[in-house]
A and B are shown apart, each in its own frame.
Chain A
Amino acid sequence: MSEINVLLIFIIASALIAVEAKDLLSGVIAIGAAGIGLSMAFLVLKAPELAILQLVVEILALIVLISATIKRDLPFSTSGRWLFNTISTFVFVIVFLGCAHEAFKALPQFGQSREIGAAAQIYVTNAATISGERNIVSAILHDRVFDSVAEFALVFAAVVGVLAVGRRNAKTHEAPHE
């Protein structure tokens, strides 16, 4: 359980930086770091599906937030730091390739499944009796389709919210207060 403690410290530290940062872009990047840490925590807690979902949603939210804040203030600090930038780029590439090599070695072979954990064993033993289906695959599929309908309702609510906000803005022509 030492990895999860390290990840929790990382998430709390980046959340504090996001609150205390002076400019908006640093705060947005720190929020992104907190989300990536949460995704890694899901992965350590053996929930890879949630980890993929958290990672993807975090990237989308980060793009939206950066495109919203990048016009407001954009601190440039590219001049006079080319040595630091080059060295940090090379170090990042080396660390990334090393971690990717280790991660690909830890993956199971193609076509082989992982070993069944304690939580998955509950599904295997109880799925037929709880859901009343003939086999576990169709039980999971029924579950999945209702899950998809709920996700679609979520997306529909998001689209309706954006339409409502845009319509109010187009009608009143209020100048935003800075």
Chain B
Amino acid sequence: MNERGMTFIVKMVTRLTLAFILLYGFYIALHGYRSPGGGFAGGIIVALSFVHIMLAFGKEAALKTLKPSRLRAIVGLAGIVLLSLALPFPWADGIPARGLLASFCDMILVGCGFFLVFIGLVTLSKSDGEVE
């Protein structure tokens, strides 16, 4: 298990910088509704932090950090909240901090989506290598 992934240096740097990358993604997403940034860019930075785990430790470690059942629950909740903000429901005007909430849900959806796209692409290239 310890042999998987990259060398010790990459794993140590990943452990040290992972929290800062996640925090920067959250900052870009939550600060973005009033200044440059936004949910899309923040979500891609959050996805990049999980891609970082996956490149350093292997696919199993990244999927263990973000379990598929938990991922499904988070994505469903964020999608429902985002749709209830976007559609003209009668209670939509009373929600406090709509912009922050919308940016946060957008960040979750984009981050999970791009992380899954990256996992799919890596799985494809792995299966290519096995066929060869």
Closest to B93 in A: A138
- Interface residue B132 (Cβ < 8 Å from any Cβ of A): yes
- Interface residue B3 (Cβ < 8 Å from any Cβ of A): no
- Interface residue B19 (Cβ < 8 Å from any Cβ of A): no
A-B contact pairs, 9 of them (CB 8 A): A52-B37, A53-B38, A56-B41, A68-B125, A140-B33, A144-B38, A149-B82, A166-B123, A173-B131
- Bitwise, B30-65 to A at CB < 8 A (1) or not (0) is 001100111111001101100100010000000000
* Interface size of A as a range: 35 or more
Q: Which of A137, A144, A173 contacts B103 (CB 8 A)?
A: A144
In the complex, which residues of chain A have a beta carbon less than 8 angstroms from the beta carbon of B44?
Answer: 56-57, 60
Bound Cα distance A48, B28 (Å): 12
Bound Cα distance A163, B124 (Å): 10
In the complex, which residues of chain B have a beta carbon less than 8 angstroms from the beta carbon of A141?
Answer: 33, 98-99, 102
Bound Cα distance A176, B98 (Å): 49
A46-86 CB contacts (< 8 Å) to partner B: 48-49, 51-53, 56-57, 59-60, 63-64, 67-68, 71
Bound Cα distance A143, B115 (Å): 26
**Which B positions have Cβ atoms within 8 angstroms of A?**
28, 32-33, 36-41, 44-45, 47-48, 51, 55, 79, 82-83, 85-86, 98-99, 102-103, 105-106, 109-110, 113-114, 116-118, 120-125, 127-129, 131-132
- Interface residue A170 (Cβ < 8 Å from any Cβ of B): yes
Looking at chain A's contact residues, the main secondary structure is: helix
A141-158 CB contacts (< 8 Å) to partner B: 141, 144-146, 148-149, 151-152, 155-156, 158
- Interface residue A162 (Cβ < 8 Å from any Cβ of B): yes
Known contacts A52-B37, A67-B55, A155-B110; is A148 also within 8 Å of B98 by CB?
A: no
Known contacts A60-B48, A60-B51, A151-B110; is A159 also within 8 Å of B120 by CB?
A: yes
